[in-house]
Chain A
Amino acid sequence: MIQINNIRKKYSDGTEALRGINAEMGKRITSVIGRNGAGKTTLMRILSTQLEPSSGEVIIDGLDVMKDTSEVRKKICSIPQEATPLGILTPMEHITLYLLARKFQYREARREAMNALDSLGILEYRDKPADTLSGGTKRKIFVAMAIASNADTVFLDEPTTGLDPVSRMEVWSSIRKLDGNLIVTTHYMEEAEELSQEVFMVESGLIIEKGEVGELLSRFNGKVRAESHSPMDGGIRISNTYVKYIPEPDAAEYIRMGCTVKKVTLDDVFILRGVSLES
């Protein structure tokens, strides 16, 4: 269980990245979603003891992140955004070294590393230098570290950014195999929707929406999304596209009018919330 109490972060250049975050994260997989620059990475870095907040408090399983830092670090695993393997080292060496940093014995570290690589289907690459591997496989090295860590709480910051769709699916399939509670940031809403039990939407350093996926989507009450490049009566303009939420039975009529009709997703929760914030 993670308890976040009024976390604020103002960087030395004056940027206010977090403006008072309050949350309770207790589900097995929690997604933190939001646009680039929304404050997701700052929040993750504070939760995982890498960054000091300007004010506020974070409690993980009863331990204060600022005061009980060494104890917290034993319980968590954090994979930073855009973490890149060292090209000259192999996957096996990366994971073993990471586990040694977590105080595993050498043999135990090797065994856990082998198991994790095997569970991700990349055991055959274990002794190849990382710079000879594909982007997806490189990313899986870090997921393997998280799997092998046996940490109570795992933080994954945008684990699929920059990957092709197949690699993204592979990485997400691997993430499902993780034990413990998982906090993931992403800006791919469909991924959050498919995987998470709970979602937090961050925008401009604030949580603007939270809840279970089904609960958030139920607000649309059976509606679907109609999109058009031409103005629509009652539509919301987003750049050069107009979006309108319509009852499902009306979909055929909108399609005849040249609109594209789609099922609502978390994108739509975000769009509606974002628009209401602007207004």
Chain B
Amino acid sequence: MNPKFSLYFAWYYGFRVIGRGPSYVIASIATPLTLLFLVYVLSSGTLVQYAVIGGFVTLVAANGLTSASDAAFMRLQAKIQDLFVATSISSIDYMIGLTLSFLLFTVPGLALYSVLAVLYHLFTPLRIAIMIGVLIMLTLSTSAISFIIAGSIKHIRNIWGITGILSIIMTILPPTFYPYTFLPKYILYALAISPATPAAIILQGTFGLSPEFYTMIFVLLGETAIYLSLAKYFTRWREK
């Protein structure tokens, strides 16, 4: 393991890039803020707390998934992945570096949602702690999905379409902006293929917005482990 590399990767490709191209940050918060506005208008403010909590989930999940485009670009186009293969780092160091750099893009958005959560009196220390844990799992699982996709595709052009579709299916369809109780359980289980579904359900329970649904804790843990294992395989540190 080379954590120093991962941290510097995140510093260079995350923090410094934010300063040079703030559009990344704006793009990452545009969708959740738009949906927050729509939910506020359509529900006359009654569901806005769901949308605030869902905003955290969408922001982190969408960022994790869109990192697939950069991972694919670095592998297929820029050949930066090949460059790093023949060094001392492992595929895990590389994945952590890229994941952390994308996580940095979400920081301004997370700060904005935190302000909203404070305004709506949603935060307590325990809830914050649980939320941090859930968002870490969500970051790992969605980034793992992005590496699986980036490692599987053969042509860079395909990635833009795939990440666009996945972002919608995996972050908007799940009950991120509405109560999960609106959906029958079998649909919830089907939607649980997206880590955003168990994450949103756990947080809705934690924040007292919907009943607790403990099974989703195991679903999130399980799929994070599965997606990470698959990502390690698909990142193709030595291609076959």
On A, residues with C-beta under 8 Å from B are 12, 45, 48-52, 69-70, 73-74, 76-86, 88-89, 93, 96-98, 100-103, 106, 129, 142, 145, 155
Contacts and interface: CB of A to CB of B under 8 A. Distances in A.
The 10 A-B residue pairs with the shortest CB-CB distance in the complex, in nearest-first order: A78-B86, A80-B79, A101-B87, A80-B82, A83-B79, A84-B78, A101-B89, A48-B86, A93-B12, A103-B88
Contact of B86 (A12, A52, A76, A97): A76
Contacts, number: 92
Contact of A74 (B8, B13, B88): B88
A86 B84 CA distance: 14
A86 B80 contact: yes
Interface of B: 2, 4-5, 8-9, 12-13, 16-17, 20-21, 74, 77-80, 82-89, 93, 238-240
B78 A86 contact: yes
A214 B82 CA distance: 34
Contact of B88 (A12, A73, A88): A73
B78 A88 contact: no
A275 to B, nearest CB: 34
A45 B13 contact: no
Contacts of B17: 88-89
Nearest to A74: B88
15 contacts: A49-B86, A51-B239, A52-B239, A73-B85, A76-B86, A78-B82, A84-B80, A85-B78, A93-B12, A98-B87, A101-B5, A102-B88, A142-B83, A145-B83, A155-B86
B20 A88 contact: yes
Max count, chain B CB within 10 A of own CB: residue among A78, A97, A155: A97
B contact face: mostly helix, strand, loop, or mixed: helix
B238 A51 contact: yes
Nearest to B78: A84
Query: Do most interface residues of chain A lie in helix, strand or loop, or is the interface mixed?
Result: mixed
B8 A106 contact: yes
A101 B12 contact: no
Q: Kindly name the residue among A48, A80, A85, A93 whose own CB sees the greatest number of chain B CB atoms within 10 A.
A: A80
Contacts of A76: 86
A63 to B, nearest CB: 13
Between A96, A100, A142, A145, the greatest number of chain B beta carbons within 10 A of the residue's beta carbon is seen for: A100
Contacts of A81: 79
B12 A50 contact: no
A27 to B, nearest CB: 21
B4 to A, nearest CB: 6
Contacts of B8: 96-97, 100, 106
A146 to B, nearest CB: 10
Contacts of A49: 85-86, 238
B78 A77 contact: no
Given A85-B78, A100-B8, A101-B2, A80 B83 contact: yes
Given A50-B82, A83-B82, A102 B87 contact: yes
A103 B238 contact: no
Contact of A73 (B12, B21, B80, B87): B87
Residue among B16, B85, B89, B240 with max Cβ neighbours from chain A (10 Å): B85
Given A83-B78, A97-B9, A103-B88, A52 B83 contact: no
Nearest to B8: A100
Contacts of B83: 78-80, 83, 98, 142, 145
Contacts of A96: 8, 12
Contacts of A88: 16-17, 20-21
Nearest to A83: B79
Nearest to B85: A50
B239 A50 contact: yes
B118 to A, nearest CB: 33
A49 B74 CA distance: 18
